[in-house]
Amino acid sequence: MKIADTSDLWWKNAVVYCVDVDKYLDDDGDGTGDLAGLSRRLPYLADLGVTCLWLMPFYSTPGRDNGYDVSDYYGVDERVGTHGDVVELIRTAEDRGIRVIVDLVMNHTSDRHPWFLDARSSRDSRYRDFYVWRDEIPEDPRETQFPGEEDGVWEWDERTEQYYLHSFYSHQPDLNAENPDVQRELAKVMGFWLQLGVSGFRVDAVPSFVSSPERREPQRDHDVLRALRRFAQRRSSDAMLVGEVNVPHDEQAAYFGEDGDGELHMQFDFPSNQALYLALARHDPEPLRASLRSRPEISTISQWANFVRNHDELTLDQLTDDERAEVFAAFAPEESMQVFGRGIRRRLPPMLGGDPRWVRMVYSLMFSLPGTPVLLYGEEIGLGENLDIPERDAVRVPMQWQADGGFSTAPASQHPLPAPDGPYAPAHVNVEDQVMDPDALFPFIRDLARTYRQSPEIGWGDLEILDVTAPSVLAHGARTDQNRFVALHSFAAEPVQFTLSVGDEPAGTELLCLASGERWQPGADGRVEMELDGYGTRRMRVCRPGDGRLR
């Protein structure tokens, strides 16, 4: 692949960091994190290597679903700040070389949104068709996203005596994506935030938005997504849409659009994320290797977003029942650690028993896979979860800045959620200790971000799966016309020796380890003998004679 010469594709090699504003840093001491507090931490994020800040919903909300129950797309939740705080955050982030993207919740609103309040006031309301109503529940309704929490996706409205559709919670009625008025309103919302300076949107629950109310499967007609992308890029040529599209790889291809020029710029790779945990449970990279091979070929102007954890449950819905049971047994053996029958409500370090080798291997892998890495706040210090908190909120604990927490000067009882306890309490896991400790997780993640940014072939290149004689080692790379990157990750707890084949390269080519500076020279057959410690990693640049690339 030849790297395109365009700055509009800034997201191709960005380092994305997801923040839940009200849980990051409280600036005014009222117990809730805020935009001013986040602005104070921009130097920290710049030092970490973040180049794109993703803000989870900070809009006006009743607060029943972590902000995803939006009551005003143009408003700012008064607990976290004002529009002036948003603009100041964006401006200050730009000074640090950090772009800002925000969540776009297109699938539904809160039932307290003025549109819905008007829509349920009368069947003749001008906003009635902003939502989906039926006299009777369809014979084959789609399944709820929250089994065990909701009985179905149709809710009876006493006042107008019809059912309304809600793919998620009953207090989140689905918008009618087929209504041109809805499409125009969503475009206006995008235009508003683009005008304030955001660089794009993380689009929530995309398959639900483009699916028919009567059927489980998505529509083949994605005109709404195409129209929204065209609108965004008319307003800002470098605007980016990254979609939450949790479907198999062969279905994800449709959401990029033909030749990547039409719908989403970037999609989270949910299939490979789920395969990763199956591979970790088996200590065998084959499930992940197979998933990576199944990635559909994408355009140069499209991208995969790689992630280890997100702010929701670790969903395993694309695994078979037996595979899911394997992952549960390994990482969530207690029922209290599971949610919705399909997911895990834990963060990575506790799942891996706190083994620093294993944790680092996983993050090294994320920063090595072709695509764009996405971190959830706190991952850089090994933040844990609090299983005493219900459902998905277990992983949405406040950021831990100091041994006493450092999130807020207000009493802990006023914080949005309680901190983890035990080995993941703030006294043991916090930023202040780790930034001063060269052996901590924070400097390790910072180095991964640095070498990722220095290796554009990872973000721009084509995936290679390389031959290696040890079944427990995943050998892969990324290649452009100019550069080549090779990575090794051992899924075994014990040391392993093996032979790696890098294929045809000119005589005198060397493999340079980006962490240690060690060098290996493949033989004439392209093979080289290596070894790795338990859960060992190696990230290498292919240095050909005369190419001038030393580090």
Q: Are 128 and 122 in contact (CB under 8 A)?
A: yes
Per DSSP, 32 falls in state S
Q: Are 55 and 163 in contact (CB under 8 A)?
A: no
Q: Are 512 and 503 in contact (CB under 8 A)?
A: no
The span from the CA of 497 to the CA of 395, in Å, is 37
Which of 244, 263, 313, 380 is labelled catalytic? 244
Is 204 part of the annotated catalytic residue set?
Answer: yes
Q: Which amino acid, residue 329? A: A
The span from the CA of 498 to the CA of 488, in Å, is 11
Which of 69, 155, 174, 204 is labelled catalytic? 204
Q: Are 46 and 38 in contact (CB under 8 A)?
A: no
Task: With both helix axes pointing from N to C terminus, report the angle between 321-331 and 270-282 in degrees, rounded to the nearest 10.
Answer: 60
Give the N- to C-terminal CA distance of the chain in Å, as an integer.
21
Per DSSP, 297 falls in state P
DSSP 102-152: EEE--SB--TTSHHHHHHTT-TT-TTGGGB-EESS--SSPPPPSSBTTBS-
The span from the CA of 327 to the CA of 281, in Å, is 6
The span from the CA of 59 to the CA of 455, in Å, is 36
Is 244 part of the annotated catalytic residue set?
Answer: yes
CB 217: neighbour CB atoms within 10 A? Answer: 11
The span from the CA of 281 to the CA of 471, in Å, is 15
The span from the CA of 99 to the CA of 91, in Å, is 9
CB 84: neighbour CB atoms within 10 A? Answer: 11
Query: How is residue 102 written in tokens?
Result: 């925000």
Catalytic residue set: 204, 244
